[in-house]
Amino acid sequence: MGRTVVELFYDVISPYSWLGFEVLCRYRHIWNIDLSFRPAFLGGIMQATGNKPPGMLPKRAEYLLKDIKRMAKYYQVPVQILGDDFQRVLGTGSLGAMRFITAIDMTQPQYVEPLSREFWLRFWSQHEDISQPANILAAARQAGLSSELAQKTLEMISSPAVKNRLKGTTDEAIKYGAFGMPAVVAHFNGEPHLFFGCDRLELLGSIIGEKWLGPVPSPKM
């Protein structure tokens, strides 16, 4: 029987996307799924749907600070939160990073996973900037790209091809009904099923006939 295609629409500005990303990477070898990384732009989704970052409601922001710490610990993802983090998110653009990941997706897609992880580590674990070109290059090198490839890719990010590709992926997420991230689309029984949030993966499993083994499942032997 064919594998269920599972598309993960994510932006590295979103810490909950990181959680969803790591869990799906683990389940890739346990569930009968084909995991497809779809780097997209959260800012574009917000604009199209009229949604706002959840941290803009003060009481929710207070809660989210605690929630992401506990969830990250349970999910074993090294998010390190400092007090001003939700403000930092609002002030930082992820457009450059997501265009860079998009460009790599178009030319050397084997680097998409380690590159995305490196951006998340920099922003959400090490409190480093990911918007300045020098920092994007440093992340790329850390992810295993040669300096030549990193530089060539950086030069691509303002090209219409890359801009349009990122916009196209973002529009796809919006067409599936996404209003935030992570947005996971499982293609099952001939139709797409949208799941929003890193806390809907157990439910996704139940829909596609798989068992949830927690966020850190033991690898299949």
**Which residue among 125, 199, 210, 217 contacts a second copy (CB under 8 A)?**
199
Minimum distance, C-beta of residue 193 to a second copy, in the bound complex (Å):
8
* 14 has catalytic annotation: yes
Locate 183 and state its tokens: 């947005």
**Which residue among 43, 55, 114, 197 contacts a second copy (CB under 8 A)?**
197
The neighbour count for residue 72, using CB atoms within 10 Å, is 23
- Side chain identity at residue 7, one-letter code: E
63 counts as binding a second copy under rule CB under 8 A:
yes
Q: Which is nearer to a second copy, 58 or 160 (CB)?
A: 58
Q: Which residues of 130-162 are buried (b: 16+ CB within 10 A; e: fewer)?
A: beeeebbbbbbebbebeeebbeebbebbeeeeb
Q: Which residue among the candidates 14, 17, 94, 116 is catalytic per the annotation?
A: 14
Locate 199 and state its tokens: 């806390």
Q: Which uninterrupted H or E stretch holds 76? A: none
Site string for a second copy, 3-42 (x = CB under 8 A): ----------------------------------------
The backbone torsions φ and ψ at residue 212, rounded to the nearest 5 degrees and listed phi first, read -80, 130
2 counts as binding a second copy under rule CB under 8 A:
no
201 and 17 Cβ atoms separated by less than 8 Å: no
Q: Which of residues 164-183 bind a second copy (CB under 8 A)?
A: 177-179
Residues forming the active site: 14
Binding residues vs a second copy (CB under 8 A): 49-51, 57-60, 62-63, 66-67, 70-71, 74, 177-179, 194, 196-197, 199-200, 202-203, 206-207, 212, 214
